[in-house]
Amino acid sequence: RGGYESASKHFNPADVEVDVAGRSFLVTGANSGIGKATAKEIARRGGTVHLVCRNKERAEAAKEEIVKETGNQNIFLHIVDISNPKEIWKFAEKFQNEYKLNVLINNAGCMVNNRELTEDGLEKNFATNTLGTYIMTTALVPLLEKAADARVITVSSGGMLVQKLNISDLQSGNGPFDGVMVYAQNKRQQVVLTEQWAKAHRNIHFSVMHPGWADTPAVRSSMPDFYERMKNSLRTEAQGADTVLWLAVSAEATKLPSGLFFQDRQPVATHLPLAYTHSPPEDEEKLMELLEEFSQKFKSISSG
């Protein structure tokens, strides 16, 4: 929280005091934590918000709270499990026929501490954090390409700084399983995805960010020891969401190049000094190829 408090002294409040009526935003994992805080702030500014959530009851409660607190009726709910690639494809294809989209916020994520497989035989963290983010984004790129001032923001984590991209074991099947490190690897993958997308799609502004460590239900459930030690110095959900909101609505954000990693409204380095976490360009290209193969396999199943 201290980091946020000192950084925020230099924020320009006018950056986010904007009216976004008529613009459409999609937020994944929007029923709690940073996703819900972001959705609420966008709703306050008049935006049309699509909440993409896995749990119907919690999602309906979140929608009700957002409508009640903001008075914005343009809040739509979609029940999709981001760890299920077939569901994402079905959702995206339907969504493109019914709505427009200006801004995609990839916030849904998970940190599962034991190796669990989804019904498709995918390791759960990879399925949600990496493949789910990849499919949601690539499936909606054609819709975003048609929009004015289109943006994609992915909520990563500073934890990725301890990981070098590893494409040899995307589903963490080799050696002992460490959920925290698997999560950090997924978050490194999200940074690489963002950099690659920025090169491939020049009409869309891509960014990835670290929200700082915030007091969210996800942190409480997946990192209980860390939470107990740090709970008095964690950021609030709104503080964690601040840079997401800034990247989503401010005119300042898109003056900076596409593909950067942000913390507290500033671009920051994606590697620590002397950390040896840089990977060769061919590994980054290979990651895209492997994810595209997975993606197409599930696309053909979902349309079949």
**CA dist list (Å): 13 to 17, 92, 250:** 7, 34, 10
**Is 99 annotated in the active site?**
no
Residue of 4, 183, 227, 276 marked catalytic: 183
Please give the Cα distance from 232 to 227 (Å, whole number). 9
Reported as a pLDDT band with limits 50, 70 and 90, residue 228 is: confident
Please name each of the domains of the chain with its CATH number: 1-9+21-297 (3.40.50.720)
Sign of the C-alpha dihedral, residues 253, 255, 257, 258? positive
Q: Tell me the pLDDT tens digit for each residue of 70-102.
A: 999 999 999 999 999 999 999 999 999 999 999
pTM: 0.96
Which amino acid belongs to residue 172?
S
Neighbours of 55 (CB within 10 A): 13
Q: According to the model, what pLDDT value does residue 242 have?
A: 97
Q: Tell me the pLDDT tens digit for each residue of 119-152.
A: 999 999 999 999 999 999 999 999 999 999 999 9
